[in-house]
Structure 1
Amino acid sequence: MTDPQSTGQDYDVVISGAGLAGSAAAILLARRGARVALLERRSDPAAYKSLCTHSLTANAYPVLAELGLVPALEEAGAVRNEARWYTRWGWIEPRAAPGGPALPYAYNVRRSVLDPMIRSRAAGTPGVDLLLGHQVSGLVREAGRTVGVRASTPEGEREIRARLVVGADGKESAVAKSARVGGRQYENGRFGYLAHFRNLPLPGGIGQTWFLEPDMAYAFPNDDGVTVLAVLPDKKRLPAFREDLESSFLAFVRALPEAPPVDSAERVSKITGTVNYPLHSRVPTAPGLALIGDAALTGDPLWGVGCGWALQSARWLAEAVAPALTGGGDLDRSLARYARRHRRRLGGHQKLAADFATSRPFNPVERLMFSAAARDEALARHMYLFASRLIGPLRFLNPVAVAKASRVNLRHRGPARARRAPGGTAA
């Protein structure tokens, strides 16, 4: 391992943000020999992100396994995230093929459990210094490169130098703003509110998602018997929600097909949410700097992919840059590899999400695939792999799958099997 002091740096890496992405990156980089400063603006080691889907899609499972978190999640009561999805053609209900392997999974778990768990794991990893109460206030730059950060601490301002600065500080990333990295913003035509409930039974005990075109909703069972219930209506409904949030929230839920029995459940949290949640896509690297998690790409919360992408991007970065950081290699080339992988793996997903965030109804291709998946188990499994972000848009819409969907629908000509959803359109 390179001695940071011998190169004029305090650390090999300084990471801003000790949430999912930052803590995962710290663990994975330190295990590969890097000396890491993990900065967290909050002083409470049990702090957590409250506005979240609380879902780790199946693409995150390999990262959770590498971090050694799977046994701890199981012990904490995290729920394996099976799901079914309502459409105007009926329910899409992915199931394992008879005699085939089980469907891939990860977990639904509240961030109040997950965030302290992974942060504690990072703090206990040799090579990681967790610095609580350290808020990045600016970057240290020399000759066009980022070479460290300035941080506000309880003891005053502090400068911390490193070969690499990582922004893992969320969609409003101070690191990204200070570096003035380029990017794009996509407006979201929906707003969202969620609340936590106990004793809210769901069919099959699994997650439910409602595609109501354009409105959305989901219910995800989590640890300790708590279910996260969220509504994501078109912004045309916003005036009613602003006038009476609780009544509008409950009325929306009651109108859902096979609605969860919300009136007999115990609400154990406030109804919280946001009326404006744009999607961000930023250039994930600059000289001496990398962005991971929401700092690099903020997806639409209705898909529940943010946590999985945070963990994946942390792993991609560690794999790309660790050899350069610990062996004196070319860091810029390593960062370029990370940027290419990030763009290749997530760019197509984000493009589709940004288009759907305009709050439009399904387009013809989506109508083809969703209707066929409601009628055919193999296509339901295929859609599950895409929703779990285990395959990308090109594999999801490959010619064989599209041809099969066309054949399935030709065999099912006739009236739609599901009743019209509130605010929906006819099949």
Structure 2
Amino acid sequence: MTMPERTYDVIVSGASLAGCAAAILLARRGVRVALLERRSDPEAYKVLCTHSLTANAHPVLDELGLLPDLEKLGAVPNRSRWHTRWGWIEPKAAPGGPELPYGYNVRRSTLDPLIRAHAERTEGVELLLGHQVTGVVEERGRVVGVRVKADGGERELRARLVVGADGKDSAVAKYAKVPAKEYENRRFGYLAHFRGLPLPDGIAHTWFREPDMAYAFPNDDDVTVVAVLPDKKLLPEFRADLEGAFMAYVQALPGAPDFGTAERISKIIGLVDYPLHLRKPVARGAAFIGDAALTADPLWGVGCGWALQSARWLAEEVAPAVAGRGGLDKALTAYGRKHTRRLRPHQALGVDFAKARPFNPLERLVFSAASRDAALARHMHLFASRLISPVRFLNPPVMARAALVNLRFRKS
């Protein structure tokens, strides 16, 4: 059965974080948006996730109007401490200074339905559940729409712009022939959810084990996500006894939480292979946001924040053009440049760290000094929150302070 063709200003494929945020922010700027989601359940959510919204996402959450709902639903401000071989790095606000920036830890089972319902209530957004993209419509080499399958029928939807917010295996990118570059990740990862797991001060913990990683992030409803990301050299041990290896690993962490009173409420899930992906954020008549444009190493917990940020950047740049008040190609170019400038350096560091290597000399210098100096611990917090660039993180004054801190420590 062929259904009637429909026309919009923008079609967004994928009604998860990036797609819903983009739809809301575009519609508020006077854009008519079709928000497509292949799953039919409005409560659907991403299962395999760090469930962390880093502080770089806070302004976007505020603009979306989600902060009151998140706090009402019990989202946990994501303050944290990090364990290194030199001890704990514990960022704290300067005496008399402002509170450190923060985001939230919140389960995707809470967050995804919330933002999707928010998008559905936004004037100018038409949420189309159960709509699977089966192709793109092109004219003169330009994407001008998508073909979708829904309710046993097929139809074309057309728009000035098609946005892929449909993950690293983006159907929009596939059919528009926009390839992704892939980078090996030499770590594997498993996580599980626990209820009633006590964490000191109730804040997130991350362990840098060089080259292994682990974290425990408290979430809403007294649920804590515990994850391990070891070097693939340990994979045979986990394959032989997943539950035993997982629990032995986390219980052996320095300062590990006491699992005696906790209840595991999920299976242990994960991925053996999770390569990092990168594709151009724009094509002729198409744009990509969230994981469809770039995936981060999950150990940093920044993917949700980047999804929201990239949605905002796209809306800011293209809304006037798709509403008929400017050149779309120029607007897409501006978005692509901003996306590349803001995220590519972070991903380059992530690609290098995904080689499962120990800290390099600069990292050793900064991490060791941050465990001994409050100002450097705050500086690390800004970088981990993706509020400063790698260049600012490792700038000469910071390196000089780190060297001085370590020199004084050795003399003491």
Q: What TM-score results when the alignment is normalised by the length of structure 2?
A: 0.98
Counterpart in 2 of 1:336?
333
**Is the CA contact 2:16–2:116 (under 8 Å) kept in the aligned structure 1?**
yes
The answer to whether 1:205 aligns with 2:202 is: yes
Amino acid paired to 1:266: E
Task: Show CA shifts across 1:47-101 (max 9, x none).
Answer: 0001000000000000000000000000000000000000000000000000000
Deviation readout 1:263-310 (Å, 9 max, x if unpaired): 431001111100000001110100100000000000000000000000
Give the match's secondary structure for 2:410: coil
What is the match of residue 224 of structure 2?
227
Counterpart of 1:277 in structure 2 is 274
Match of 1:151 in 2: 148
Please state if 1:177 is matched with 2:167. no
Question: Could you tell me how far 1:398 is from its partner in structure 2?
Answer: 1.2
CA RMSD in angstroms comes to: 1.1
Alignment of 1:35-46 (within 5 A): 35-46=32-43
SS in 2 for 1:316: helix
> Contact conserved, 2:373 with 2:405, CA < 8 A, in 1?
yes
Among 344, 351, 354, the alignment partner of 2:351 is 354
Q: Please give the alpha-carbon distance, in whole angstroms, between the structure 1 residues aligned to 2:229 and 2:39.
A: 29
Distance in structure 1 (CA, Å) of the matches to 2:254 and 2:23: 44
Q: Is the deviation greater in 181-190 or in 401-410?
A: 181-190
> Post-superposition, which runs of at least 4 consecutive aligned residues in structure 1 deviate over 6 A?
none
Post-superposition CA distance 1:237-281 (Å, at most 9, x none) = 001111110000000011100111124310011111000000011
Q: CA deviation at 1:414?
A: 7.4
The separation in 1 between residues aligned to 2:6 and 2:46, in whole angstroms, is: 31
String of CA shifts for 1:369-410, please: whole Å, max 9, x gaps. Answer: 000000000000000000000000011111111100000010
Give me the whole-angstrom Cα distance separating, in 2, the residues matched to 1:376 and 1:414. 15
Partner residue, 1:244: 241
Q: Give the C-alpha shift of residue 9 in structure 1.
A: 6.5
Structure 1, unmatched stretches of 5+, are 1-7, 416-427
Q: Please say if 1:82 is aligned against 2:84.
A: no
Q: Distance in 2 between matches of 1:342 and 1:314?
A: 10
Query: Which residue in 1 is equivalent to 2:56?
Result: 59
Q: Counterparts of 2:225 and 2:179 in 1: how far apart (Å)?
A: 34
Q: Tell me, yes or no, if the aligned pair for 1:253 and 1:262 is still in contact at 8 Å.
A: no
Question: CA contact under 8 A between 1:191 and 1:274: conserved in structure 2?
Answer: yes
Unaligned runs of at least 5 residues, structure 2? none
Q: CA deviation at 1:137?
A: 0.9
Letter in 2 for 1:407: L
1:155 to partner: Cα distance:
3.2
Which digits, 9 at most, give the CA deviation of each residue in 1:315-347, with x for residues without a partner? 000000001011341100000000000000001
CA distance in 2, matches of 1:247, 1:382: 37
Does 2:334 match 1:323? Answer: no
Task: Choose which of 401, 405, 423 in structure 1 pairs with 2:398.
Answer: 401
Amino acid at match of 2:295: T
* CA–CA separation in structure 2 for the residues paired with 1:332 and 1:9: 23
The equivalent residue for 1:368 is: 365
Counterpart selection for 1:188 from 150, 160, 185: 185
Q: Identify which of 21, 25, 31 aligns with 2:22.
A: 25
Q: Contact 1:197–1:266 (CA<8 Å) still a contact in 2? A: yes
Deviations 1:111-142 (A, max 9, x none): 00000000000000000000000011110001
Alignment-mate amino acid for residue 203 of structure 2: I
CA contact (8 A) 1:321 1:334 kept: yes
Q: What percent of counterpart residues are identical?
A: 72
Higher mean C-alpha deviation, range 367-376 or range 9-18? 9-18
CA displacement, residues 191-223 of structure 1 (integer Å, 9 cap, x when unaligned)? 000000011111111000000001100000000
Distance (whole Å) between structure 2 residues aligned to residue 9 and residue 101 of structure 1:
50
